[in-house]
Chain A
Amino acid sequence: MNNLIILPILIPLLAAVLLIFMNKSIKLMRVFSAISSFTAVVVAAVLVQTVFTDGIQTLYLGGWKPPFGIVLVADQFASLLALTTAIIGFLTVLYSFRSIGEQRERFFYYSAIQFLLAGVSGAFLTGDLFNLFVFFEVLLMASYVLIVIGGTKIQLRESLKYIVFNIISSALFVIGVAYLYAVTGTLNMADLSVRISESGQTGLITVIAVLFLIVFGLKGGIFPLYFWMPGSYYAPPAPIATLFGALLTKVGMYAIARVFTLIFTQDAAFTHQLMIWLAALTIIFGVIGSIAYCDVQKIIIYNIVTAVGVILFGIAANTPASIEGSIYYLIHDMIIKGVLFMLGGALFALTGTNNLKKMGGLIKSHPVLGWMFLLSAISLAGVPPFSGFIGKLKIAEGGFRSGEFVITMLMLLSSLLVLYSVAKIFIYGFWGDEQKDTQIKGSIKSYIFPAAILLALSLAIGIVTELAAPYFHQAADTLVNPKTYIEAVLKE
């Protein structure tokens, strides 16, 4: 029992409610949301350290013992993701000050961001399947507001599709919950795990497992279900795209990792093999998309799809090494996609276009932006001193161990094309002759500063891996041995 667990949810939630009353003064909203997001970072860091020293923390809401009440569970995996979420939330708030514009800020922009952060942290920390659905809806509802705020034509058009797809996936989620409740009679994840391992995974439960794969695949953007992502993430302005790209799909990946390591573990020959093939196809289609476009935003968006495939492959290969690699890669990818969207936003602010063919020669006028972009591109591809390396290394190790040679090679080859796709942005945008017809507007210092912090974090994870490794190892340990999770939740 530890009340600390609820704070990463409660702080953004309270901040969001209070921000509603502050909408007269933009300055006040900015200061308040920055302070509260920073508090959330500190609290999440304390939570990570507590879990590291004392093991898995649980909180029975209202004092009801599981499986009867709702339980919040902070194992190291969830706490690390909550910390990353809080950091990205804080930096996005800083990034928004100059880039989002007063028109949007006036209409509850910061409030919606805080609701989104509350939903994401809640989805990471909950130990109950229906509660996960509710937190999904909290973050989706906030994302509906964020994707349409401002009401430009492209936003209206794309957000309609985004909402309709998410309504369908939420309906499928409730259908999955209903089936699972009919079969097992419980909704607590630890209790579900116990009951399914007692009764053995029948055909019925494998069907439900695939239904959940479809649901979380729709949220996370795996192969046949990523079709909504390129349009939807293209519509909103840079800070909102940063939040979406860094957080939303990763919640789906977290849910897949949680559900397929804790609950549906018995019939791995079928479910995990299916996931491996889907992961391979996701990587292929993501890479095709990212090399096909000459558009900064589109390239970054398709790189999300590729990364989702890599993470899914690590989970599906189901070896201790590949699961640990997936955790590294998940957190690395949240950070680096944040950096890329922020820098992409800076590029757009400078040139007024996303089209690579209309840019050029920015390295002369903006060397800092150029070098930061180069560093983040290298990190995305997984070159050793950066955070992307260790994750892919471990996933490859696990992939080879589990005998999936072809798909592991495919994943490694995809790094090359990922590097090509981002290097294309660098070559077209920063080298060559300066384009005279694109006007270079003002300073972008406030754009670069939050991105620089995130990039430094990515570098830090890569360089001092020795310090970070125990945390990641502990996180992987819970996923590999779900017994520790179950005992922590259902202890007498």
Chain B
Amino acid sequence: MEILMAFIVGFLFMAATYLMLSKSLLRVIIGTAVLSHGVHLLLLTMGGLKKGAPPILNEEATSYVDPLPQALILTAIVIAFGVTSFLLVMAFRAYQELKVDDMDQMRGNDQHE
């Protein structure tokens, strides 16, 4: 199971890298979202995917799944969510002001803003 997840995570990282290297700003943002998906799945996988009850004490079970990675992922998800929404709004503002969404045209130097 971990092997399969490793391949899926690897594919997500590959797609994210490809998207983030593209010209359009929106593709870059989609790339960051895919990257954070990959990261969260990796965190879950590296915590171990052994079978067990959900980490709720009411469930009468002999073994539970590891609760720590789940808490870490939950934290990482809301952080990624906050950052992504900020980035989306900023991309919108940048589109309004600069009138481009092509990362290549967002180069600047000291002479002209």
Query: How many interface residues does A have (CB within 8 Å)?
Result: 36
Q: How far is the CB of B111 from chain A (nearest CB, A)?
A: 10
With A154-B113, A175-B42 as known contacts, state yes or no: A164 contacts B28, CB within 8 Å: yes
Task: Flag if B106 contacts A164 (CB, 8 Å).
Answer: no
Among candidates B47, B75, B113, residue contacting A153 with C-beta atoms closer than 8 Å: B113
Among candidates A130, A137, A157, A168, residue contacting B106 with C-beta atoms closer than 8 Å: A157
For A144, the chain B residues whose CB sits under 8 A away are 83, 86, 90
A134 at the interface (CB under 8 A from B): yes
Tell me whether chain B's interface is mostly helix, strand or loop, or mixed. Answer: helix
Contact with B along A149-180 (1 / 0, CB 8 A): 00111101111110110011011001101110
Task: Flag if B98 contacts A156 (CB, 8 Å).
Answer: yes
Among candidates B39, B48, B75, B90, residue contacting A160 with C-beta atoms closer than 8 Å: B90
A465 at the interface (CB under 8 A from B): no
Contact with A along B54-87 (1 / 0, CB 8 A): 0000000000000011001001100110110011
Task: Flag if A179 contacts B46 (CB, 8 Å).
Answer: yes
Task: Flag if B32 contacts A130 (CB, 8 Å).
Answer: no
The distance in angstroms between the C-alpha atoms of A31 and B87, with both chains bound, is 32
For B80, the chain A residues whose CB sits under 8 A away are 167
With A141-B83, A163-B86 as known contacts, state yes or no: A174 contacts B43, CB within 8 Å: yes
Contact with B along A201-237 (1 / 0, CB 8 A): 0000000000000000000000000000001000000
A182 at the interface (CB under 8 A from B): yes
The contact sample of 14 A-B pairs, CB cut-off 8 A, is A134-B75, A134-B79, A144-B83, A151-B93, A151-B97, A153-B98, A158-B108, A163-B83, A177-B43, A177-B72, A178-B39, A178-B47, A181-B43, A298-B110
Q: Which 8 A-B pairs have the closest CB atoms?
A: A182-B46, A178-B46, A178-B43, A156-B94, A174-B39, A171-B39, A167-B32, A137-B79
Show the binding face of A for B, using Cβ within 8 Å: 130, 134, 137, 140-141, 144, 148, 151-154, 156-161, 163-164, 167-168, 170-171, 174-175, 177-179, 181-182, 187, 231, 295, 298, 354-355
Show the binding face of B for A, using Cβ within 8 Å: 20, 25, 28, 32, 35-36, 38-40, 42-43, 45-48, 68-69, 72, 75-76, 79-80, 82-83, 86-87, 90-91, 93-94, 97-98, 106, 108, 110, 113
